[in-house]
Amino acid sequence: MHILLVGLGNMGLKYLRKLEELGLKPVLCDRDPGKANGKKDYPFYCHVGDVKEEVSHAIIAINPEEHVKVAKELLRKGVKVLLEKPPARTSEEFSEIYENPNLEISEIELYSEAVKNFPHNVEPKKILIERLNKGRGYINPLWDLAWHDLYILQYLFGKVEVEELKKGKVWELSGRVRNVSFRLRVAWEYPEQIRRWVVKTDKGDLIMDFSKEELTFGSVRRSRLYGDKLREMVQDFVEGVRREGSRERAMENLKILESLKV
């Protein structure tokens, strides 16, 4: 059985490198035949329906508008699918594949050292989040960047309630989790890259730095010594290690973004 990688754009090539690091040779698929250049060691197709190999797992990293269509075709065949975020442009569209147990949604930040080492006995008083990027994404800063922090908020604290969105060079979303206020700031083309949470507590600030892969809380510091979060996520997927709740968190993210009309 083979692993199929659909999409060889920026994110797809990152997935390919991780599969190679794991000693795997996937079947490749991209609508652009030119993407086959330099990849003669791999079977290559321009359409998922043309793939001849028996496929057990598939990673899909293409235009989000095509996610559901391609995922549905593979899921119908019993293939286990890891779908890049956002999995769809609307919750209604996502509902077409949402309940399939073979579907997982990419949640790369759950593999960060900051999230893995988050002390669950901490009672936050306020949460300040910044995800400011030098580059640009596909839809807008909220879809591209805040998506990560919204699923982290759900994973750590439960239901997310949004209250207000302010747009500008920096988009700012405010809301509450566990009746605690949070402020989430995101931006494209920012002078410096910042990916950081500051969780205010009675015992001081807990700082989660996603760029440095580090969590600091008082005298405690946890940082990554080896490996990387994308490789860990890919390895878990191909080995059958599940992240329960990824579909539910993705659906909730879509509904949040729809409520903000962005």
- What token pair was written down for 204? 């001081």
* Structural domain of 205: 113-223
Q: What is the pLDDT of residue 105?
A: 98
Query: Which of residues 107, 125, 140 is at a domain's end?
Result: 107
Task: Note whether 120 and 102 are same-domain residues.
Answer: no
Give yes or no: residues 40 and 68 share one domain: yes
**Exposed, middle or buried: residue 244 (CB in 10 Å: 0-12, 13-18, 19+)?**
exposed
At 59 the pLDDT is 98
At residue 209, does pLDDT exceed 80? Answer: yes
Q: What angle do CA 3, 6, 10 make, to 5 degrees?
A: 120
Q: Is residue 97 part of a domain?
A: yes
Residues 201-215: what's their mean pLDDT? 96
* Number of separate domains in the chain: 2
Percent of the chain with pLDDT over 90: 93
Q: Average pLDDT over the chain, rounded to whole?
A: 96
The pLDDT value recorded for residue 139 is 85
Specify whether 126 is located in the same domain as 74.
Answer: no
Half-sphere exposure in the Cβ direction for 200 (13 Å, CA)? 9
pLDDT at 120 over 90: no
The single residue listed with the structure tokens 């899921």 is: 75
Residue 61: pLDDT band (50, 70, 90) is: very high
> Considering the domain boundaries, does residue 55 fall inside one?
yes
Confidence of residue 137 (pLDDT cuts 50, 70, 90): confident
CATH code of 30's domain: 3.40.50.720
Q: For 5-58, write each residue's pLDDT tens digit.
A: 999 999 999 999 999 999 999 999 999 999 999 888 999 999 999 999 999 999
Do 103 and 147 belong together in one domain?
Answer: no
Same domain, 54 and 119: no
pLDDT tens column, 97-111: 999 999 999 999 999
The DSSP 8-state label assigned to residue 146 in this structure reads I
Both 91 and 136 in a single domain? no
Q: Quick check: is 83 in a domain?
A: yes
Is 207 exposed, middle or buried (CB count within 10 Å of its CB: 0-12, 13-18, 19+)?
middle
Ramachandran sector of residue 252 (left: φ over 0; alpha: ψ -120 to 50; beta: rest) = alpha
Lowest mean pLDDT among 79-83, 119-123, 124-128, 245-249: 119-123
Write down the residue that tokens 């095509």 correspond to. Answer: 66
- Give yes or no for residue 64 having a pLDDT over 80: yes
Peptide bond into 87 cis (omega under 30): no
Q: Considering only CA atoms, which of 111, 2, 110, 9 is closest in space to residue 64?
A: 9
d(CA 69, CA 96): 9
pLDDT at residue 1 is higher than 80? no
Cα–Cα distance, 153 to 31 (Å, whole number): 35
- The pTM (predicted TM-score) of the whole model is 0.96
pLDDT of residue 225: 80
